[in-house]
Structure 1
Amino acid sequence: MLALIRHEAVLPKLPSASGIEVIGNVAYVIGDDAPFLYQLDATTLAAGTPVQLFETAHFSGGRIPKELKLDLECLTALTTPAGETGLLVLGSGATAAREQGFWVPLPGQAGGVGAVYPLSLSGLYAALRPLLPAGVVLNLEAAAATATELLLFQRTVGSATGNLLFRLPLAVTLDYLHHRTNQAPAVRQQLFELPHIDGKPAGFSGATWFDNRLFVTASVEDTQDAVLDGEVLGSFVGVLELKDNVRVLPASLARLERPGGQPYRGKVESVAVRRRLSASRYELLLVTDDDAGGSTAVLVEIML
């Protein structure tokens, strides 16, 4: 597997990018300390009109302070069993303030966005926490959706024991989040062995479901704190296999490289597929966060 960076562009006035999905000609992006859903042209990256997810008095400086932010890290496009297409936005769950999410319907085919529905995630996250290894804090960093499952990715920084995938039935989970049922969904978990850089283990950072493949990103930070940032050592991208009744799976990921083979040391936060180039080649659009409010979009060609 090979993952080569073809282009990188700064995303001005888009702080701390944490999630991206591409639907048609629109790239939807969230930031972990911003109250907006940003809309970009998926080809040119030209900025469209952002959609406000929630009101806040703490964004005047261009970033919501760390202790107050909702930490919106998970973004996935999905189609409900009723046929409604939309975006599910989820907080990381690392603190009580980060148990908030949003459902954003997409009623049109040309970038139209419907009314934003806030979602409380406290009940769902309470069902996930007992499945974590002892001493590990819930810290969801990515989400993806198949036709039948919602996939949530736990990032356990500084440890290889908590890189978990939570697999939830999609229909039941959506009913629970929208208060159509009081029964929390059943959860299956799968542990993945991720690669290392300089002895530090990678942690999940992004995911998307495309062409019946689960594309993921993982990054390496020199920290053991789910809230505090550390030195970024590099990032990986690849495809995971979903297997039933397998407790631990190795993850075959490629380290991101610049032209000429130089390792990329940026912190990739999420991944979307822009297009398929051939049966085993895809053009990916990644977003990064420099932990100081800066964001970039990275165009990558991956050869599986």
Structure 2
Amino acid sequence: MEKFTLEILFHIIGIGSASGLFFKDNSLFVIGDNSGFLYEYHINSQDLKRHPLIEKSSENILKKDKPDFEAMTAFQDTLYVFGSGSTSKRNSMVEFDLEQKKKIKTNNLVNLYEVMQNFASIKPEEFNLEGAVHDGENWYFFNRGNGISNKNTLFSFHAKKLDQDFSLLSNDYKLPKIKGVRTSFTDGILVDNKLYFLAAAEDTQSTYDDGEVLGSIIGRIDLETMKIDFTKKISATHKFEGITFFKKENNKIEFLLCEDKDTEILETTIYKLSLNLK
């Protein structure tokens, strides 16, 4: 797993602070943590559509008011978009129908987020969900450990829906450092019973305030053992916050990545990361 390539695939004008993405049928669905929209970008035609996820959706919402959509996952024809839970205004989960291309409903997850915090002994000010995965039977959530305690926690729910009874597990991980700063989860995706994750090093001890970006890694967790298979530094300058599966062939797996530049500029670069599986 030592060899990898990282290349710019294309730029999208009209999306800023990209924090999550999902690839399907040659279209890319993107969320931004400053925005109230779900963006749908058709790669061939370069057409960009905006789907409102909140009332009075806009780009570059003030930090204190934003829903902070940081995590996104899909199962069958439903896309699930999650607020980070890092403030009281960031507890929403929006369900979006990928066939009808419209919002189905919004759920308030404040009670669930409190259960997660209590279960894993995470203080409210250090709770910051940045990745979500759903396979129809289980949910996985990545808490970004960019607070003082560095609580990089993977939550595992066994439930088809989050409003049903569930069993809950949590695992804490000590991720590698870059330039002396511990990396922290920024997204994850499930491929062949393995969770591939992104983590970034940002020189801050706050889930709210940004810091100097020192780079990003990719890693993989085996769901049978819940242990990390490998980690690999993929950049010394980018804070990658979104990953989606692109293709897999000939012992090589490819992902699409997006980064959060923490600016108000409405431009996003999509990268392709290729990993050798041998």
- TM (norm. structure 1) is 0.83
1:46 alignment counterpart: 46
Q: Which runs of 5+ in 1 are unaligned?
A: 80-84, 257-262
CA RMSD of aligned residues (A): 2.1
- 8 A contact 2:66–2:89 mirrored in 1: yes
The equivalent of 1:13 in structure 2 is: 14
CA deviation after TM superposition for structure 1 residue 200, in Å: 0.6
Q: Which residue of 2 aligns with 1:277?
A: 249
Structure 2 residue aligned with 1:260: none
Cα 1:240–1:123 change in 2 (3 A) is same
| Counterpart code for 2:117 | R
| Matched length | 273
- Trace 1:51-200 onto structure 2 (pairs within 5 A): 51-56=51-56, 59=58, 62-79=59-76, 85-107=77-99, 112-133=100-121, 135=123, 137-157=126-146, 161-173=150-162, 176=163, 183=165, 185-200=166-181
- Give the corresponding residue for 2:275: 302
Between the aligned partners of 1:71 and 1:233, the Cα distance in structure 2 is 22
Q: Which contiguous aligned blocks of 4+ residues in structure 1 show a shift greater than 3 angstroms? A: 132-136, 158-161
Aligned match for 1:290, one of 243, 248, 261: 261
Q: Answer whether contact 1:137 1:226 (CA < 8 A) is retained.
A: yes
Letter in 1 for 2:68: D
Distance verdict in 2 for CA 1:159–1:303, change over 3 Å: farther
Query: Is contact 1:77-1:86 (8 Å) kept?
Result: yes
CA-to-aligned-CA distance 1:162-189 (integer Å, 9 cap, x gap): 111000123142xx1xxxx5x5x33110
SS at the partner of 1:272?
strand
Maintained 8 Å contact 1:3/1:255: no
Counterparts in 2 of 1:134 and 1:29: CA distance versus 1, 3 Å: closer
Q: Percent identity?
A: 27
Structure 2: give runs of 5+ residues left out of the alignment: none
- The residue identity in structure 2 corresponding to 1:266 is H
CA distance in 2, matches of 1:236, 1:95: 26
Q: 1:223 aligns with which of 199, 204, 214?
A: 204
Would the aligned equivalents of 1:167 and 1:189 in 2 still touch at CA under 8 Å? yes
Residue aligned with 1:125, SS: helix
Please give the secondary structure, in 2, of the residue aligned with 1:29: strand
The whole-number CA distance in structure 2 between the counterparts of 1:102 and 1:282 is 29
Contact 1:144/1:152 (8 A) holds in 2: yes
Query: Take 1:130 and 1:196, find their aligned partners in 2: how far apart are those partners?
Result: 27
Q: Distance in 2 between matches of 1:255 and 1:44?
A: 31
The answer on whether the counterparts of 2:21 and 2:28 sit within 8 Å (CA) in structure 1 is yes
TM-score by length of 2: 0.90
1:207 and 2:188 matched = yes
Instruction: After TM superposition, give the deviation of residue 210 of structure 1 in Å.
Output: 2.8
Q: What secondary structure sits across from 1:252 in the alignment?
A: strand
Q: Distance in 2 between matches of 1:277 and 1:69?
A: 39
* Contact 2:71–2:130 under 8 Å retained in 1: yes
Alpha-carbon separation, structure 1, partners of 2:37 and 2:122: 35
**Residue type at the aligned position of 1:281:** K
Measure, in 2, the Cα distance between the counterparts of 1:16 and 1:293. Answer: 7
- Give the structure 1 partner of residue 4 of structure 2: 3
